[in-house]
Structure 1
Amino acid sequence: MDPLHAASLACLGAATLCWLLGVLTREYSWVDRLWSILPPAYVAWFASHSHAGAPRLTVMTILAALWGARLTYNFARKGGYAPGGEDYRWVELRRRLPPPLFAVFALVFIAFFQNILLLLLAVPAYVAASPTAAPWGSLDTLATIVFLLLLAGETIADQQQWRFQNAKRARGDAYGPKFLTRGLFRYSRHPNFFCEVSMWWAFYAFSVASGAGLVNPAIVGPVLLTLLFHGSTTFTEQLSRAKYPTYADYQRTTSRLIPWFPRR
Protein backbone atom coordinates (compact mmCIF):
# COMPACT_ATOMS: atom_id res chain seq x y z
CA MET A 1 0.00 0.00 0.00
CA ASP A 2 1.22 3.50 -0.82
CA PRO A 3 2.34 5.21 2.43
CA LEU A 4 0.08 8.21 1.77
CA HIS A 5 -2.89 5.88 1.30
CA ALA A 6 -2.14 4.17 4.62
CA ALA A 7 -1.65 7.51 6.38
CA SER A 8 -4.96 8.74 4.96
CA LEU A 9 -6.77 5.74 6.42
CA ALA A 10 -5.14 6.40 9.79
CA CYS A 11 -6.18 10.05 9.51
CA LEU A 12 -9.81 9.16 8.87
CA GLY A 13 -9.70 6.76 11.80
CA ALA A 14 -8.30 9.47 14.09
CA ALA A 15 -10.94 11.95 12.90
CA THR A 16 -13.74 9.48 13.57
CA LEU A 17 -12.35 8.72 17.03
CA CYS A 18 -12.09 12.43 17.89
CA TRP A 19 -15.66 13.00 16.79
CA LEU A 20 -16.98 10.06 18.80
CA LEU A 21 -15.07 11.11 21.91
CA GLY A 22 -16.46 14.62 21.55
CA VAL A 23 -20.02 13.31 21.35
CA LEU A 24 -19.53 10.98 24.32
CA THR A 25 -17.67 13.37 26.63
CA ARG A 26 -19.10 16.73 25.50
CA GLU A 27 -15.51 17.98 25.26
CA TYR A 28 -14.22 18.89 21.83
CA SER A 29 -10.47 19.31 22.31
CA TRP A 30 -9.55 15.75 21.34
CA VAL A 31 -7.95 16.95 18.11
CA ASP A 32 -5.98 19.50 20.13
CA ARG A 33 -4.60 16.60 22.20
CA LEU A 34 -3.38 14.91 19.02
CA TRP A 35 -2.16 18.11 17.32
CA SER A 36 1.47 17.77 18.44
CA ILE A 37 1.58 13.96 18.07
CA LEU A 38 0.18 13.08 14.65
CA PRO A 39 2.33 15.22 12.30
CA PRO A 40 5.65 13.83 13.66
CA ALA A 41 4.18 10.32 13.41
CA TYR A 42 3.14 10.88 9.79
CA VAL A 43 6.56 12.34 8.94
CA ALA A 44 8.33 9.37 10.52
CA TRP A 45 6.04 7.02 8.59
CA PHE A 46 6.86 8.69 5.27
CA ALA A 47 10.57 8.78 6.14
CA SER A 48 10.53 5.04 6.82
CA HIS A 49 9.50 4.53 3.18
CA SER A 50 12.20 6.75 1.69
CA HIS A 51 15.22 5.33 -0.10
CA ALA A 52 18.17 4.46 2.14
CA GLY A 53 20.57 7.21 3.14
CA ALA A 54 18.25 10.19 2.64
CA PRO A 55 19.55 12.91 4.99
CA ARG A 56 16.65 15.21 4.09
CA LEU A 57 14.05 12.81 5.54
CA THR A 58 16.19 12.21 8.62
CA VAL A 59 16.39 15.94 9.30
CA MET A 60 12.67 16.42 8.61
CA THR A 61 11.84 13.64 11.08
CA ILE A 62 14.06 15.19 13.76
CA LEU A 63 12.61 18.67 13.22
CA ALA A 64 9.03 17.37 13.37
CA ALA A 65 9.87 15.45 16.56
CA LEU A 66 11.38 18.56 18.18
CA TRP A 67 8.32 20.59 17.23
CA GLY A 68 6.00 17.90 18.60
CA ALA A 69 7.91 17.45 21.87
CA ARG A 70 7.95 21.18 22.59
CA LEU A 71 4.28 21.66 21.79
CA THR A 72 3.25 18.58 23.76
CA TYR A 73 5.11 19.87 26.83
CA ASN A 74 3.58 23.33 26.54
CA PHE A 75 0.08 21.92 26.04
CA ALA A 76 0.46 19.51 28.97
CA ARG A 77 1.66 22.13 31.46
CA LYS A 78 -1.38 24.25 30.66
CA GLY A 79 -3.64 21.31 31.54
CA GLY A 80 -4.61 20.43 27.99
CA TYR A 81 -4.51 16.67 28.65
CA ALA A 82 -6.35 16.89 31.97
CA PRO A 83 -10.11 16.22 32.21
CA GLY A 84 -11.93 19.45 31.48
CA GLY A 85 -8.97 20.89 29.57
CA GLU A 86 -11.15 21.97 26.67
CA ASP A 87 -10.19 24.94 24.53
CA TYR A 88 -12.17 27.94 25.78
CA ARG A 89 -13.02 28.89 22.20
CA TRP A 90 -15.03 25.68 21.70
CA VAL A 91 -16.92 26.47 24.90
CA GLU A 92 -17.73 29.93 23.59
CA LEU A 93 -18.82 28.60 20.19
CA ARG A 94 -21.11 26.08 21.88
CA ARG A 95 -22.70 28.97 23.72
CA ARG A 96 -23.20 31.02 20.56
CA LEU A 97 -24.33 28.36 18.07
CA PRO A 98 -27.59 26.39 18.07
CA PRO A 99 -26.90 22.75 19.09
CA PRO A 100 -27.59 21.27 15.59
CA LEU A 101 -25.24 23.77 13.95
CA PHE A 102 -22.49 23.16 16.49
CA ALA A 103 -22.89 19.41 15.98
CA VAL A 104 -22.18 19.87 12.26
CA PHE A 105 -19.26 22.20 13.07
CA ALA A 106 -17.81 19.64 15.50
CA LEU A 107 -18.02 16.88 12.90
CA VAL A 108 -16.85 18.75 9.81
CA PHE A 109 -14.37 21.29 11.17
CA ILE A 110 -13.15 20.22 14.59
CA ALA A 111 -12.86 16.49 13.96
CA PHE A 112 -12.34 15.95 10.23
CA PHE A 113 -10.91 19.18 8.79
CA GLN A 114 -8.31 19.55 11.52
CA ASN A 115 -7.23 15.92 11.35
CA ILE A 116 -6.88 16.14 7.58
CA LEU A 117 -4.83 19.31 8.04
CA LEU A 118 -2.47 17.50 10.43
CA LEU A 119 -1.81 14.93 7.70
CA LEU A 120 -1.37 17.61 5.04
CA LEU A 121 1.31 19.31 7.16
CA ALA A 122 3.38 16.13 6.88
CA VAL A 123 2.92 15.71 3.11
CA PRO A 124 6.22 17.54 2.31
CA ALA A 125 7.92 14.48 3.80
CA TYR A 126 5.95 12.22 1.45
CA VAL A 127 7.01 14.36 -1.50
CA ALA A 128 10.63 14.43 -0.32
CA ALA A 129 10.62 10.63 0.05
CA SER A 130 10.46 10.20 -3.73
CA PRO A 131 13.25 7.95 -5.06
CA THR A 132 13.97 10.62 -7.68
CA ALA A 133 14.39 13.41 -5.12
CA ALA A 134 17.37 15.72 -5.53
CA PRO A 135 20.25 15.39 -3.07
CA TRP A 136 20.63 17.66 -0.04
CA GLY A 137 21.25 21.25 -1.09
CA SER A 138 21.53 24.80 0.15
CA LEU A 139 17.73 25.22 0.36
CA ASP A 140 17.58 22.27 2.76
CA THR A 141 20.19 23.91 4.96
CA LEU A 142 18.33 27.22 4.89
CA ALA A 143 15.00 25.54 5.69
CA THR A 144 16.58 23.74 8.65
CA ILE A 145 18.08 26.93 10.08
CA VAL A 146 14.86 28.91 9.63
CA PHE A 147 12.79 26.13 11.19
CA LEU A 148 15.05 25.97 14.26
CA LEU A 149 15.05 29.76 14.67
CA LEU A 150 11.25 29.83 14.50
CA LEU A 151 11.05 26.93 16.95
CA ALA A 152 13.23 28.90 19.37
CA GLY A 153 11.06 32.00 18.86
CA GLU A 154 7.86 30.09 19.61
CA THR A 155 9.45 28.54 22.69
CA ILE A 156 10.43 31.98 24.02
CA ALA A 157 6.98 33.44 23.29
CA ASP A 158 5.17 30.58 25.02
CA GLN A 159 7.48 30.83 28.03
CA GLN A 160 6.86 34.57 28.30
CA GLN A 161 3.11 33.95 28.15
CA TRP A 162 3.39 31.15 30.72
CA ARG A 163 5.23 33.35 33.22
CA PHE A 164 2.79 36.20 32.69
CA GLN A 165 -0.29 34.05 33.20
CA ASN A 166 1.18 32.44 36.33
CA ALA A 167 1.94 35.86 37.82
CA LYS A 168 -1.56 37.03 36.91
CA ARG A 169 -3.17 34.01 38.57
CA ALA A 170 -1.01 34.41 41.67
CA ARG A 171 -1.93 38.05 42.24
CA GLY A 172 -5.49 37.98 40.93
CA ASP A 173 -7.22 41.34 40.56
CA ALA A 174 -4.18 43.05 42.08
CA TYR A 175 -2.12 42.23 39.01
CA GLY A 176 -1.70 45.29 36.81
CA PRO A 177 -1.64 44.33 33.10
CA LYS A 178 -4.44 42.03 31.96
CA PHE A 179 -2.68 40.78 28.83
CA LEU A 180 0.95 40.49 27.80
CA THR A 181 2.48 43.40 25.88
CA ARG A 182 6.17 42.91 26.67
CA GLY A 183 8.98 40.78 25.31
CA LEU A 184 8.15 39.36 21.90
CA PHE A 185 4.55 40.48 22.43
CA ARG A 186 5.74 44.07 22.10
CA TYR A 187 6.38 43.46 18.40
CA SER A 188 3.54 41.07 17.60
CA ARG A 189 0.24 40.39 19.32
CA HIS A 190 0.72 36.69 18.54
CA PRO A 191 4.43 35.93 18.00
CA ASN A 192 3.85 32.27 18.82
CA PHE A 193 1.21 32.03 16.08
CA PHE A 194 3.56 33.71 13.60
CA CYS A 195 6.35 31.25 14.41
CA GLU A 196 4.00 28.26 14.24
CA VAL A 197 2.68 29.06 10.77
CA SER A 198 6.09 30.08 9.43
CA MET A 199 7.66 26.83 10.65
CA TRP A 200 5.39 24.80 8.41
CA TRP A 201 6.23 27.00 5.45
CA ALA A 202 9.91 26.27 6.19
CA PHE A 203 8.99 22.59 6.35
CA TYR A 204 7.30 22.91 2.95
CA ALA A 205 10.59 24.24 1.55
CA PHE A 206 12.05 20.73 1.90
CA SER A 207 9.61 19.50 -0.74
CA VAL A 208 10.77 22.28 -3.04
CA ALA A 209 14.40 21.38 -2.33
CA SER A 210 13.65 17.77 -3.24
CA GLY A 211 12.86 18.90 -6.79
CA ALA A 212 9.07 18.95 -6.68
CA GLY A 213 8.91 22.55 -7.89
CA LEU A 214 8.28 25.88 -6.24
CA VAL A 215 4.56 25.11 -6.11
CA ASN A 216 3.67 21.47 -5.54
CA PRO A 217 0.77 19.57 -3.89
CA ALA A 218 2.44 19.77 -0.46
CA ILE A 219 1.64 23.51 -0.39
CA VAL A 220 -1.98 22.78 0.55
CA GLY A 221 -1.06 22.12 4.20
CA PRO A 222 0.71 25.41 4.99
CA VAL A 223 -1.89 27.39 3.00
CA LEU A 224 -4.77 25.90 4.99
CA LEU A 225 -2.85 26.33 8.24
CA THR A 226 -2.29 30.02 7.43
CA LEU A 227 -6.00 30.51 6.75
CA LEU A 228 -6.92 28.61 9.92
CA PHE A 229 -4.67 30.73 12.11
CA HIS A 230 -5.94 33.96 10.59
CA GLY A 231 -9.51 32.90 11.32
CA SER A 232 -8.80 31.64 14.84
CA THR A 233 -6.76 34.77 15.62
CA THR A 234 -9.70 36.97 14.63
CA PHE A 235 -12.03 35.01 16.91
CA THR A 236 -9.52 34.99 19.78
CA GLU A 237 -9.08 38.75 19.53
CA GLN A 238 -12.84 39.32 19.49
CA LEU A 239 -13.01 37.50 22.83
CA SER A 240 -10.02 39.42 24.22
CA ARG A 241 -11.44 42.77 23.18
CA ALA A 242 -14.81 41.96 24.76
CA LYS A 243 -13.08 40.99 28.00
CA TYR A 244 -10.49 43.78 28.07
CA PRO A 245 -11.56 47.16 26.55
CA THR A 246 -7.92 48.35 26.51
CA TYR A 247 -7.07 45.52 24.11
CA ALA A 248 -8.22 47.82 21.30
CA ASP A 249 -5.30 50.15 22.09
CA TYR A 250 -2.92 47.20 21.89
CA GLN A 251 -4.39 46.31 18.50
CA ARG A 252 -3.77 49.84 17.24
CA THR A 253 -0.13 49.94 18.28
CA THR A 254 1.09 46.39 17.73
CA SER A 255 1.35 44.22 14.63
CA ARG A 256 -1.16 41.38 14.47
CA LEU A 257 1.13 38.50 13.48
CA ILE A 258 4.29 39.56 11.67
CA PRO A 259 6.73 41.05 14.22
CA TRP A 260 7.31 44.76 13.64
CA PHE A 261 8.17 47.87 15.59
CA PRO A 262 5.23 49.15 17.65
CA ARG A 263 3.34 52.21 16.47
CA ARG A 264 2.77 55.18 18.73
Structure 2
Amino acid sequence: MRRPSVSRAWSMVVVLGAYLLAFAAAWVVVAMAPPSWHPLLIVFVADIVATILIFGMSMVLDNASLYDPYWSVAPPVVAAWWVAEAPNGDGARQAVVLALIAVWAVRLTGNWAYGWKGLHHVDWRYEHLRATRGRVPWWLVNLGGIQLMPTLVVFLGLLPVWPALAGSRPFGWLDVVATAVTAGAIALEAVADRQMHRFAAAAENRGRILATGVWRRTRHPNYLGEIAFWWGLWMFGLAAAPAWWWTVLGPVAMVVLFKAASIPLMDRRSLDRRGGYADHMREVPALLPRLR
Protein backbone atom coordinates (compact mmCIF):
# COMPACT_ATOMS: atom_id res chain seq x y z
CA MET A 1 0.00 0.00 0.00
CA ARG A 2 1.20 3.49 -0.82
CA ARG A 3 1.33 5.71 2.24
CA PRO A 4 -0.93 8.76 2.24
CA SER A 5 0.76 11.89 0.93
CA VAL A 6 -0.93 14.51 3.07
CA SER A 7 0.30 17.58 4.88
CA ARG A 8 1.85 17.39 8.32
CA ALA A 9 -1.09 19.31 9.76
CA TRP A 10 -3.63 16.86 8.35
CA SER A 11 -1.45 13.98 9.51
CA MET A 12 -1.69 15.31 13.04
CA VAL A 13 -5.47 15.56 12.69
CA VAL A 14 -5.57 11.90 11.65
CA VAL A 15 -3.41 10.92 14.63
CA LEU A 16 -5.63 12.91 16.99
CA GLY A 17 -8.74 11.25 15.57
CA ALA A 18 -7.21 7.79 15.92
CA TYR A 19 -6.31 8.42 19.55
CA LEU A 20 -9.71 9.83 20.39
CA LEU A 21 -11.26 6.65 18.99
CA ALA A 22 -8.78 4.51 20.94
CA PHE A 23 -9.48 6.25 24.22
CA ALA A 24 -13.21 6.12 23.58
CA ALA A 25 -12.90 2.34 23.17
CA ALA A 26 -10.86 2.19 26.38
CA TRP A 27 -13.53 4.19 28.19
CA VAL A 28 -16.17 1.70 27.09
CA VAL A 29 -14.11 -1.01 28.77
CA VAL A 30 -13.87 1.09 31.94
CA ALA A 31 -17.60 1.79 31.95
CA MET A 32 -18.57 -1.85 31.35
CA ALA A 33 -16.03 -3.48 33.67
CA PRO A 34 -17.54 -5.66 36.43
CA PRO A 35 -17.43 -4.05 39.91
CA SER A 36 -15.22 -6.92 41.09
CA TRP A 37 -12.38 -5.95 38.76
CA HIS A 38 -9.37 -4.27 40.34
CA PRO A 39 -8.36 -0.91 38.79
CA LEU A 40 -5.16 -2.55 37.57
CA LEU A 41 -7.11 -5.19 35.65
CA ILE A 42 -9.47 -2.60 34.19
CA VAL A 43 -6.56 -0.52 32.92
CA PHE A 44 -4.84 -3.60 31.51
CA VAL A 45 -7.86 -4.63 29.45
CA ALA A 46 -8.58 -1.05 28.34
CA ASP A 47 -4.92 -0.64 27.40
CA ILE A 48 -4.98 -3.72 25.19
CA VAL A 49 -8.23 -2.66 23.51
CA ALA A 50 -6.87 0.83 22.77
CA THR A 51 -3.62 -0.61 21.44
CA ILE A 52 -5.43 -3.01 19.12
CA LEU A 53 -7.49 -0.11 17.74
CA ILE A 54 -4.32 1.91 17.07
CA PHE A 55 -2.80 -1.18 15.48
CA GLY A 56 -5.78 -1.51 13.15
CA MET A 57 -5.49 2.12 12.13
CA SER A 58 -1.74 1.73 11.57
CA MET A 59 -2.40 -1.18 9.21
CA VAL A 60 -5.03 0.79 7.28
CA LEU A 61 -2.61 3.72 6.93
CA ASP A 62 0.41 1.44 6.44
CA ASN A 63 2.28 3.38 9.10
CA ALA A 64 3.40 1.67 12.32
CA SER A 65 4.60 5.04 13.66
CA LEU A 66 0.97 5.85 14.43
CA TYR A 67 1.64 4.00 17.68
CA ASP A 68 4.63 6.13 18.74
CA PRO A 69 2.77 8.76 20.83
CA TYR A 70 0.97 6.02 22.77
CA TRP A 71 4.01 5.55 25.02
CA SER A 72 3.64 9.03 26.48
CA VAL A 73 -0.05 9.79 25.93
CA ALA A 74 -1.57 6.84 27.81
CA PRO A 75 0.16 7.14 31.25
CA PRO A 76 -1.30 10.54 32.29
CA VAL A 77 -4.79 9.37 31.31
CA VAL A 78 -4.36 6.20 33.37
CA ALA A 79 -2.94 8.11 36.34
CA ALA A 80 -5.77 10.65 36.30
CA TRP A 81 -8.37 7.88 36.33
CA TRP A 82 -6.59 6.07 39.15
CA VAL A 83 -6.69 9.23 41.26
CA ALA A 84 -10.47 9.31 40.80
CA GLU A 85 -10.57 5.65 41.93
CA ALA A 86 -8.38 6.28 44.99
CA PRO A 87 -10.12 8.90 47.16
CA ASN A 88 -8.19 7.83 50.27
CA GLY A 89 -4.75 8.37 48.76
CA ASP A 90 -2.39 10.99 50.14
CA GLY A 91 -3.30 14.25 48.41
CA ALA A 92 0.22 15.69 48.38
CA ARG A 93 1.70 12.58 46.78
CA GLN A 94 -1.12 12.36 44.25
CA ALA A 95 -0.56 15.96 43.20
CA VAL A 96 3.21 15.54 42.83
CA VAL A 97 2.98 12.23 40.92
CA LEU A 98 0.28 13.55 38.59
CA ALA A 99 2.24 16.73 37.90
CA LEU A 100 5.46 14.85 37.15
CA ILE A 101 3.72 12.40 34.82
CA ALA A 102 1.96 15.28 33.07
CA VAL A 103 5.22 17.21 32.52
CA TRP A 104 6.95 14.06 31.30
CA ALA A 105 4.07 13.25 28.93
CA VAL A 106 3.83 16.73 27.44
CA ARG A 107 7.58 16.96 26.90
CA LEU A 108 7.98 13.50 25.40
CA THR A 109 4.91 13.82 23.17
CA GLY A 110 6.16 17.21 22.04
CA ASN A 111 9.52 15.68 21.20
CA TRP A 112 7.76 13.06 19.08
CA ALA A 113 5.70 15.74 17.31
CA TYR A 114 8.85 17.77 16.63
CA GLY A 115 10.52 14.92 14.78
CA TRP A 116 7.54 13.31 13.03
CA LYS A 117 7.11 14.54 9.46
CA GLY A 118 3.65 13.13 8.77
CA LEU A 119 1.86 9.99 7.65
CA HIS A 120 4.41 9.38 4.91
CA HIS A 121 7.14 9.10 7.57
CA VAL A 122 7.86 5.82 9.40
CA ASP A 123 10.44 5.31 12.12
CA TRP A 124 13.58 3.72 10.64
CA ARG A 125 13.46 0.96 13.27
CA TYR A 126 10.09 -0.20 11.98
CA GLU A 127 11.30 -0.15 8.40
CA HIS A 128 14.26 -2.26 9.53
CA LEU A 129 11.99 -4.78 11.25
CA ARG A 130 9.80 -4.96 8.18
CA ALA A 131 12.76 -5.58 5.90
CA THR A 132 14.35 -8.24 8.13
CA ARG A 133 11.26 -10.09 9.37
CA GLY A 134 11.78 -13.05 7.07
CA ARG A 135 8.61 -15.10 6.63
CA VAL A 136 6.86 -13.66 9.67
CA PRO A 137 3.74 -11.73 8.54
CA TRP A 138 4.14 -7.98 8.84
CA TRP A 139 0.87 -7.59 10.73
CA LEU A 140 2.19 -9.93 13.42
CA VAL A 141 5.48 -8.06 13.76
CA ASN A 142 3.59 -4.77 13.90
CA LEU A 143 1.08 -5.95 16.48
CA GLY A 144 3.40 -7.95 18.70
CA GLY A 145 6.80 -6.31 18.44
CA ILE A 146 5.98 -2.67 17.74
CA GLN A 147 2.71 -2.12 19.59
CA LEU A 148 1.69 -4.74 22.15
CA MET A 149 5.17 -5.23 23.58
CA PRO A 150 5.72 -1.54 24.45
CA THR A 151 2.16 -1.31 25.79
CA LEU A 152 2.87 -4.20 28.16
CA VAL A 153 6.21 -2.69 29.23
CA VAL A 154 4.58 0.67 29.97
CA PHE A 155 1.79 -1.10 31.88
CA LEU A 156 4.45 -2.80 34.01
CA GLY A 157 6.08 0.59 34.50
CA LEU A 158 2.76 1.99 35.70
CA LEU A 159 2.19 -0.76 38.29
CA PRO A 160 3.82 1.21 41.13
CA VAL A 161 1.79 4.29 40.21
CA TRP A 162 -1.37 2.63 41.53
CA PRO A 163 -0.05 2.21 45.12
CA ALA A 164 1.58 5.63 44.83
CA LEU A 165 -1.82 7.19 44.15
CA ALA A 166 -3.94 4.90 46.33
CA GLY A 167 -1.61 4.52 49.31
CA SER A 168 -2.55 6.51 52.39
CA ARG A 169 0.87 6.83 54.05
CA PRO A 170 1.74 10.53 54.41
CA PHE A 171 4.23 12.23 52.11
CA GLY A 172 7.70 11.59 53.55
CA TRP A 173 11.43 11.63 52.94
CA LEU A 174 11.34 8.83 50.35
CA ASP A 175 8.80 10.86 48.38
CA VAL A 176 11.25 13.75 48.40
CA VAL A 177 13.95 11.47 46.98
CA ALA A 178 11.47 10.09 44.42
CA THR A 179 10.55 13.63 43.37
CA ALA A 180 14.22 14.53 42.86
CA VAL A 181 14.90 11.36 40.85
CA THR A 182 11.82 11.71 38.64
CA ALA A 183 12.20 15.44 38.04
CA GLY A 184 15.92 15.00 37.39
CA ALA A 185 15.15 12.26 34.87
CA ILE A 186 12.73 14.50 32.99
CA ALA A 187 15.30 17.29 32.96
CA LEU A 188 18.03 14.96 31.67
CA GLU A 189 15.81 13.77 28.82
CA ALA A 190 14.91 17.35 27.93
CA VAL A 191 18.55 18.49 27.88
CA ALA A 192 19.67 15.44 25.90
CA ASP A 193 16.95 15.88 23.28
CA ARG A 194 17.61 19.60 22.96
CA GLN A 195 21.33 19.05 22.47
CA MET A 196 20.65 16.34 19.89
CA HIS A 197 18.20 18.53 17.96
CA ARG A 198 20.72 21.37 17.79
CA PHE A 199 23.50 19.02 16.71
CA ALA A 200 21.41 17.29 14.04
CA ALA A 201 20.15 20.61 12.65
CA ALA A 202 23.66 21.67 11.62
CA ALA A 203 24.52 20.37 8.15
CA GLU A 204 28.22 20.15 8.98
CA ASN A 205 27.46 17.55 11.66
CA ARG A 206 26.07 15.00 9.19
CA GLY A 207 27.82 11.69 9.83
CA ARG A 208 29.54 13.00 12.95
CA ILE A 209 29.18 11.84 16.56
CA LEU A 210 27.65 14.01 19.27
CA ALA A 211 30.13 13.78 22.13
CA THR A 212 29.57 17.04 23.99
CA GLY A 213 27.25 18.07 26.82
CA VAL A 214 25.47 15.17 28.48
CA TRP A 215 26.35 13.04 25.44
CA ARG A 216 30.01 13.21 26.47
CA ARG A 217 29.42 11.05 29.54
CA THR A 218 26.97 8.48 28.19
CA ARG A 219 26.07 7.38 24.66
CA HIS A 220 22.36 7.35 25.42
CA PRO A 221 21.50 10.03 28.02
CA ASN A 222 17.90 10.20 26.75
CA TYR A 223 17.44 6.50 27.48
CA LEU A 224 19.09 6.93 30.89
CA GLY A 225 16.60 9.68 31.69
CA GLU A 226 13.67 7.54 30.57
CA ILE A 227 14.77 4.60 32.73
CA ALA A 228 15.35 6.86 35.74
CA PHE A 229 11.84 8.32 35.34
CA TRP A 230 10.26 4.90 35.85
CA TRP A 231 12.52 4.13 38.81
CA GLY A 232 11.37 7.39 40.36
CA LEU A 233 7.72 6.35 39.98
CA TRP A 234 8.52 3.03 41.66
CA MET A 235 10.03 4.91 44.60
CA PHE A 236 6.74 6.81 45.00
CA GLY A 237 4.88 3.49 45.11
CA LEU A 238 7.33 2.12 47.68
CA ALA A 239 6.91 5.21 49.83
CA ALA A 240 3.12 4.96 49.75
CA ALA A 241 2.76 1.18 50.18
CA PRO A 242 5.94 -0.82 50.93
CA ALA A 243 4.05 -4.11 50.47
CA TRP A 244 3.92 -3.26 46.75
CA TRP A 245 7.71 -3.49 46.45
CA TRP A 246 7.25 -6.22 43.84
CA THR A 247 6.15 -3.58 41.33
CA VAL A 248 9.90 -3.15 40.82
CA LEU A 249 9.09 -5.39 37.84
CA GLY A 250 8.15 -2.15 36.06
CA PRO A 251 11.47 -0.31 36.08
CA VAL A 252 13.34 -3.60 35.63
CA ALA A 253 11.32 -4.22 32.46
CA MET A 254 12.34 -0.77 31.24
CA VAL A 255 16.02 -1.55 31.81
CA VAL A 256 15.67 -4.82 29.90
CA LEU A 257 13.86 -3.12 27.00
CA PHE A 258 16.49 -0.44 26.54
CA LYS A 259 19.52 -2.64 27.23
CA ALA A 260 18.39 -5.58 25.11
CA ALA A 261 16.63 -3.82 22.25
CA SER A 262 16.86 -0.04 21.93
CA ILE A 263 20.56 0.50 22.72
CA PRO A 264 21.95 -2.34 20.55
CA LEU A 265 19.77 -1.25 17.62
CA MET A 266 20.86 2.39 17.88
CA ASP A 267 24.52 1.44 18.27
CA ARG A 268 24.44 -0.83 15.22
CA ARG A 269 22.92 1.96 13.14
CA SER A 270 25.55 4.44 14.32
CA LEU A 271 28.33 1.96 13.51
CA ASP A 272 27.04 1.85 9.94
CA ARG A 273 26.55 5.61 9.59
CA ARG A 274 29.26 7.30 11.66
CA GLY A 275 32.99 6.84 11.28
CA GLY A 276 34.84 6.29 14.53
CA TYR A 277 31.76 5.11 16.39
CA ALA A 278 33.48 1.86 17.43
CA ASP A 279 36.11 3.93 19.25
CA HIS A 280 33.34 6.08 20.72
CA MET A 281 31.67 2.94 22.10
CA ARG A 282 34.91 1.92 23.79
CA GLU A 283 35.41 5.35 25.32
CA VAL A 284 31.87 6.28 26.38
CA PRO A 285 29.61 3.92 28.37
CA ALA A 286 26.24 3.02 26.90
CA LEU A 287 24.10 4.07 29.84
CA LEU A 288 25.61 4.76 33.25
CA PRO A 289 27.66 7.95 32.84
CA ARG A 290 31.38 8.18 33.37
CA LEU A 291 32.35 10.60 36.14
CA ARG A 292 35.50 12.05 34.61
TM-score, structure 2 as length reference:
0.81
Which residue of 1 is the match for residue 19 of structure 2? none
1:40 to 63, 76, 97: 76
1:61 is aligned to: 98
Contact 2:207 2:275 in 1 (8 A): no
Report the alpha carbon displacement of residue 176 of structure 1 after superposing the two structures with TM. 6.7
Paired with 1:26 and 1:211, the residues of 2 have a C-alpha distance of: 44
Whether the 8 Å CA contact 2:164–2:237 is kept in 1: the answer is: yes
Tell me, yes or no, if the aligned pair for 2:58 and 2:67 is still in contact at 8 Å.
no
Q: CA deviation at 1:188?
A: 0.5
Aligned equivalents of 1:227 and 1:29: distance in 2? 22
1:190-214 alpha-carbon deviations (Å, 9 max, x no partner): 1111011011101100111012347
Counterpart for residue 241 of structure 2:
211
Cα separation, partners in 2 of 1:176 and 1:116, compared to 1, 3 Å: closer
State percent identity of aligned pairs: 28
Q: What is the correspondence of 1:3-18 to structure 2 with a 5 Å cutoff?
A: 3-18=39-54
* 4+ aligned runs moved over 3 Å, structure 1: 174-177
Q: Is the 2:156–2:249 contact (alpha carbons within 8 Å) kept by the matching residues of 1?
A: yes
2:108 is matched with which residue?
A: 71
**Pairing 1:163–2:193 present:** no
Choose from 169, 187, 208 the match for 2:217: 187
Write the mapping of 1:1-264 to structure 2, written as runs, cut at 5 A.
1=35, 2-52=38-88, 54-79=91-116, 82-130=118-166, 133-167=168-202, 171=203, 174-175=204-205, 178-213=208-243, 215-216=245-246, 218-230=247-259, 231-261=261-291
Query: Cα distance 1:186–1:134, how it changes in 2: closer, same or farther (>3 A)?
Result: same
The 3 A distance-change label for structure 1 pair 84 and 261 is: farther
Give me the CA root mean square deviation. Answer: 1.9
Unmatched segments (≥5 aa) in structure 1: none
8 Å Cα contact 1:57/1:129 also seen in 2: yes
Q: Larger deviation: 185-194 or 50-59? A: 50-59
**CA–CA distance in structure 1, aligned partners of residues 207 and 132 of structure 2:** 28
Paired residue secondary structure (2:186): helix
Q: Contact conserved, 2:65 with 2:122, CA < 8 A, in 1?
A: yes
Q: TM-score, normalised by structure 1?
A: 0.89
